[in-house]
């Protein structure tokens, strides 16, 4: 019997603050993103989110927490419960937050950064994760600015399919922008994906993939701030031998930098988001994935990025180990 494909979404939600140009989070985007995810058929098994806050001035000034200490992810999951409940359906997701950076003015919390992952408990079981200590991948080109540089991390989970117990890994990340402190930044017109710091982070990322997957199938999703044909993309796909989902299903030509924009800023259109995989993963389709600016998408106007939505299967059998509930 053929395997039923699993579905994954990778989405930069811009702190659920796109309505206010990212300056503050509001309840509207949380509700609309929740509604868009809930409308996907079939529902995703894993959702990787980038640019998610904990609790700060930015996350709460325009959307007051429903209770003291409520995080942005908790507020978003409240909207998920609301949407599914209105439809008379059980909300199947467990949410996990991976903190990256905290910006303070004295004791005042200005804003925070981080990643999140939602796992559909009906189809997958969480074996282990690195919530308590997300892997650091930041490359500091200028050491004296280290404390001011936004930390970049890699979130990791080992998941097992409900039923057959087959295991695979999901990694979620958000690479830095290219550093302006390197001469290469000023010598090229197309700067995204060409930063020396971005290549350092990509190499560290690949080391983490190999270290934690231990030969098991894995998927890497996120905002790479790097288009196809850039040095970072070529390193991941050619040197590290990762498979790009959009290339695998024929949705993009990897030689074209601007062929399929996933993000936009003013009049600029950029392809910055990707889904990659290692051996043991077969990409089936990218149904539901639309380029940035496509008004037919249910995600249109909800962020300055569009989600990547893909289905995949796991090839062959994967050894099953006893579950571990914490650690990385």
Residue 327 lies in a domain: no
Residue of 156, 204, 205, 196 whose CA lies nearest to 177: 196
- Statement: residue 65 has pLDDT above 90: no
Poorest-pLDDT segment among 13-17, 49-53, 191-195: 13-17
**Would you state the pLDDT for residue 72?**
87
The CA distance from 100 to 50, in Å, is 11
Residue at token pair 């998941």? 159
CA atoms within 13 A on the CB side of 61: 12
pLDDT digits (tens, 9 = 90+) for 179-202: 755 556 545 667 799 999 999 999
Domain harbouring 161, CATH code: 3.60.10.10
Residue 319 lies in a domain: no
The CA distance from 291 to 271, in Å, is 9
Residue 325 lies in a domain: no
DSSP 8-state code for residue 104: E
Residue 200 lies in a domain: yes
Residue 241 lies in a domain: yes
How high does pLDDT run on average in the chain?
85
Residue 120 lies in a domain: yes
Model pTM? 0.86
- Statement: residue 67 has pLDDT above 90: no
Task: Answer yes or no: are the C-beta atoms of 222 and 175 closer than 8 Å.
Answer: yes
**Would you state the pLDDT for residue 181?**
52
Residue 320 lies in a domain: no
Task: Supply angle C-alpha 287, 29, 21, rounded to 5.
Answer: 105
Contacts of residue 114, defined as CB under 8 A and 6 or more positions apart, other chains included, come to 52, 53, 54, 97, 98, 99, 100, 101, 153
The CA distance from 247 to 173, in Å, is 20
**Would you state the pLDDT for residue 327?**
41
Q: How many domains does the chain have?
A: 1
Residue 283 lies in a domain: yes
Q: Range of 104's domain?
A: 6-314
The CA distance from 257 to 252, in Å, is 10
Burial of residue 31 (CB within 10 Å: 0-12, 13-18, 19+) is middle
């Amino acid at each position: 019997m053929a395997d039923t494909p699993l579905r994954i979404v990778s989405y930069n939600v811009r702190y659920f603050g796109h309505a206010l140009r990212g300056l503050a989070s509001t309840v509207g985007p949380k509700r609309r993103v929740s509604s868009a995810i809930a409308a996907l058929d079939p529902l995703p098994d894993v959702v990787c989110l980038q640019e998610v806050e904990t609790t700060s001035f930015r996350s709460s000034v325009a959307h007051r927490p429903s209770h003291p200490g409520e995080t942005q992810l908790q507020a978003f999951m409240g909207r998920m419960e609301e949407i599914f409940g209105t439809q008379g359906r059980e909300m199947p997701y467990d949410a996990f937050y991976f903190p990256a950076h905290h910006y303070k003015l004295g004791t005042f919390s200005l804003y925070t950064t981080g990643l999140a992952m939602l796992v559909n408990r009906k189809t997958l079981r969480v074996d282990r994760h690195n919530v308590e200590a997300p892997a650091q991948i930041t490359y500091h080109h200028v050491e004296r600015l280290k404390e001011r540089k936004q930390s970049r991390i890699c979130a990791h989970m080992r998941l097992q399919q409900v039923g057959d117990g087959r295991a695979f890994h999901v990694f979620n990340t958000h690479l830095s922008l290219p550093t302006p402190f390197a001469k290469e930044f000023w010598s090229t017109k197309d700067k995204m994906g060409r930063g020396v710091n971005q290549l350092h982070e990509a190499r560290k990322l690949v080391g983490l993939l190999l270290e934690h997957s231990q030969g098991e199938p894995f998927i890497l999703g996120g905002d790479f701030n790097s288009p196809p044909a850039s040095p970072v993309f070529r390193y991941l796909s050619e040197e590290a031998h990762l498979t790009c989902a959009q290339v695998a299903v024929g949705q993009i030509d990897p030689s074209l930098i601007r062929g399929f924009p996933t993000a936009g800023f003013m009049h600029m259109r950029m392809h910055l988001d990707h889904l990659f995989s290692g051996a043991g993963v077969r990409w089936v389709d990218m149904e539901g994935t639309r380029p940035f600016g496509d008004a037919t998408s249910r995600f249109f106007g909800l962020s300055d990025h569009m989600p990547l939505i893909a289905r995949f299967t796991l090839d062959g059998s994967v050894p099953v180990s006893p579950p571990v509930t914490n650690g990385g």
